[in-house]
Structure 1
Amino acid sequence: MAARLGVVSVVQVVIRSLRARIFSGELAPGTPLAEVDVAAQYEVARPTAKAALENLVASGLLTRNAHQTARVTLLSARDALDIYRTRAIIEAEAVRLLAAQREVPSEAREANAEITELVGASPIDIIDPDIRFHAALVQALGSRRTSAFYAQLTDEIRLCMTHVQDATLLSTKDIAAEHARLLQLISEGEAAAAAKVLEEHLRTASNKLAEHLDSL
């Protein structure tokens, strides 16, 4: 059992490092990541490198066709629209249910307060609190299955947001203001209006990202 836990730990270390390098832009979209190269770079066994790469393929950060080297995912405009459309389906329903109970997640308030404090800072800095804000809306439902399903999208959401913020497609001030408006509507029990604000918030981001990706 101890040996098994050790292997899992090493795999997770490699996964975390590769994820960080992808999100920072060090590993640009389209960059190939061969098992043998990853194993050599991290000084781990090839099965460990393979397990790490398979995890990142499953999360959408890497793309690999049969018998080909994995590559950092290059999002298309269609990918971005699909990811945000899926988010909207889950998050809008979460917002409706929260508004019906007038339940405002404290984690969402805290995350948006952090975003507000970052107005004027690098747009990349708001990615973490922005993700926490939206995740808090879903997690507040208290549904293990819904949260688990949403969590499967997290890496692709972060990849999208990295593109959005790296290109400064959205204003931090506007994001914080829209979040604040959404939380206000939830607290007032305005379910339909809250869902509409959420959907428009995500639609604006997805459309700007799709336009940006099409221009590359």
Structure 2
Amino acid sequence: MVQAIVNDLRDRIFTAELSPGTSLREVELAAHYEVARPTAKAALENLVATGLLTRNAHQTARVRRLTSEDVIDIYRTRAILETEAVRILAATCHAPSAASVANDEITALQDATPIQIVEPDIQFHRALIDALDSPRVRTFYEQLTDDIRLCMAQVQDAILLSTERIATEHRRLLDLIAAGDADSAVEHLERHLDNAGHRLAEHLVRDVLE
């Protein structure tokens, strides 16, 4: 039961139903999910441990609110991993089919709400990592996944990037990889990530000022 609550709360956070800073109290969660308070507490502790919630001693748990500095660091870390993956893939002109499938899904969601493209967008970028066929690199990237989802959910919830633009940039990246143009592919991916990261960072700064 604890894991079921954790999974549902994760979904609600990543779809922006539970926005950054939203408070989550044990008593209210217990009533909502019709479980004992210790069960609700265990679910909250799980999410605090994974970094999706924050809670100081004797305080209410809240959905983690990313700072602009967090966002820049997360996207910089992504760039380190993903650009090297792209360089390696371009060396053999290997554009992962799984990435194409994910981007086709994004393209098909042109009329959907922006938040709905978060998961296929993550699948696109994960496909670049998975194509290296390295369990260690994949594990390291997975450690960033929750942070990436938080970033992307906030980017899309704020409608900072259009679905059409994301799909177009993805398609261009795959074309460059397939053509074996490693330098251009890396440069394109760096711009793609840097644009999203800085737009979100600037959005968070404006939120604080307002």
Could you state the TM-score of these two structures normalised by the residue count of structure 2? 0.90
Q: Measure, in 2, the Cα distance between the counterparts of 1:127 and 1:48.
A: 29
1:112 to partner: Cα distance:
0.6
**Counterpart residue number, 1:5:** none
Do 1:59 and 1:152's aligned partners in 2 also have CA atoms closer than 8 Å? no
Is 1:133 matched with 2:131? no
**1:98-118, CA deviations, whole angstroms, 9 ceiling, x for partnerless residues?**
112221111100011111122
Q: Measure, in 2, the Cα distance between the counterparts of 1:199 and 1:67.
A: 42
Is 1:11 matched with 2:8? no
* Structure 1 stretches lacking a partner, 5+ long: 1-9
**Counterpart residue number, 2:153:** 162
Query: RMSD in angstroms over aligned alpha carbons?
Result: 1.7
- Aligned ranges 1:70-85 → 2 under 5 Å: 70-85=61-76
* Structure 2 stretches lacking a partner, 5+ long: none
Do 1:14 and 1:42's aligned partners in 2 also have CA atoms closer than 8 Å? yes
Do 1:59 and 1:156's aligned partners in 2 also have CA atoms closer than 8 Å? no
**1:147-186, CA deviations, whole angstroms, 9 ceiling, x for partnerless residues?**
1221122122111111111221112111111111111111
Q: Measure, in 2, the Cα distance between the counterparts of 1:59 and 1:105.
A: 30
> Which moves more between the two structures, 200-209 or 160-169?
160-169
Could you state the TM-score of these two structures normalised by the residue count of structure 1? 0.88
**Counterpart residue number, 2:205:** 214
Q: Percent identity?
A: 63
Do 2:15 and 2:115's aligned partners in 1 also have CA atoms closer than 8 Å? no
Q: Measure, in 2, the Cα distance between the counterparts of 1:38 and 1:149.
A: 32
Is 1:111 matched with 2:102? yes
Is 1:65 matched with 2:56? yes
Is 1:178 matched with 2:174? no
Q: Measure, in 2, the Cα distance between the counterparts of 1:97 and 1:126.
A: 27
Quick one: which amino acid aligns to residue 44 of structure 2? L
Is 1:55 matched with 2:42? no
Quick one: which amino acid aligns to residue 71 of structure 2? A
Three-state SS of the structure 1 residue aligned to 2:4 is helix
Three-state SS of the structure 2 residue aligned to 1:177 is helix
**1:189-210, CA deviations, whole angstroms, 9 ceiling, x for partnerless residues?**
2222211111110000011111
Three-state SS of the structure 2 residue aligned to 1:179 is helix
> Which moves more between the two structures, 96-105 or 198-207?
96-105
**Counterpart residue number, 1:20:** 11
Q: Measure, in 2, the Cα distance between the counterparts of 1:144 and 1:54.
A: 28
Quick one: which amino acid aligns to residue 91 of structure 1? E
**Which structure 1 residue ranges, 4+ long, deviate > 4 Å from structure 2?**
none
Tell me which of 193, 199, 202 is aligned to 2:190: 199
